[in-house]
Structure 1
């Protein structure tokens, strides 16, 4: 079973990030599904909808879920093109810096990219 990345399909930054990660994923390790599509196909999931919109969720074959910074570093580790960038993210205590940076970017995502969300879907 592949890892499943749940992202906000209405967010411009999330969609652009997904495109980049998919290009890096030459081994096809991660299946990207918008949380909106996932909810339609699977009914309500175990995660609160607001939490799903706040950060990337990576569902592992074991049933465990990684969120935010931990999900991103796991996705980066799966690609031969990006695993070198992922390795420093596994140094002990790096998550103490990485998680707040991830949350700040996610919280301010409507400010990134020139195409802002016209309908307000990027704001949390």
Structure 2
């Protein structure tokens, strides 16, 4: 699957962008991240797989274990946004996601979004029925 997808912009080629660090071995993660460029009509994002050596080099303070549990968005100011908080951030950052912000910012809604995100993240290899599972990623991670 990944080979048929267009390459994502990387931070080396797009300076002054927020960087999304995601699990490039996860079919669900990769599929969702490859949808983001359409939502990102102003080209504010670049992407790296957590398995890319650049991640540890550029952001040594990031926990490899935490990166395996949830995506991380590093904004242009160097702030970290993890998991559902990253999705929330994107709803304000990307013009085409404006409609999602009121839902994600409902008072108290993170009590729902955080466990939902954790459940999907924990089960992502089982839920993926794509190339990630045919390359033994499911067995390797669970």
TM-score by length of 1: 0.86
Asked if structure 2 preserves the Cα contact closer than 8 Å seen for 1:77 and 1:84, the reply is no
In structure 1, what is the Cα distance between the partners aligned to 2:120 and 2:114?
A: 10
* Residues 1:6 and 1:86: Cα distance change in structure 2 (over 3 Å): same
CA offset digits 1:28-80 (Å, max 9, x no partner): 1111111222336x266212212111111011222210100000121233222
Contact 2:69 2:122 in 1 (8 A): yes
Q: Which runs of 5+ in 1 are unaligned?
A: none
**Higher CA-based Rg:** 2
Number of residue-to-residue matches in the alignment: 123
Instruction: Tell me the TM-score normalised to structure 2 length.
Output: 0.76
Matches within 5 A, 1:48-63: 48-63=63-78
Other-structure match for 1:117: 133
Within the alignment, does 1:8 sit opposite 2:26 as a pair?
A: no
RMSD: 2.0
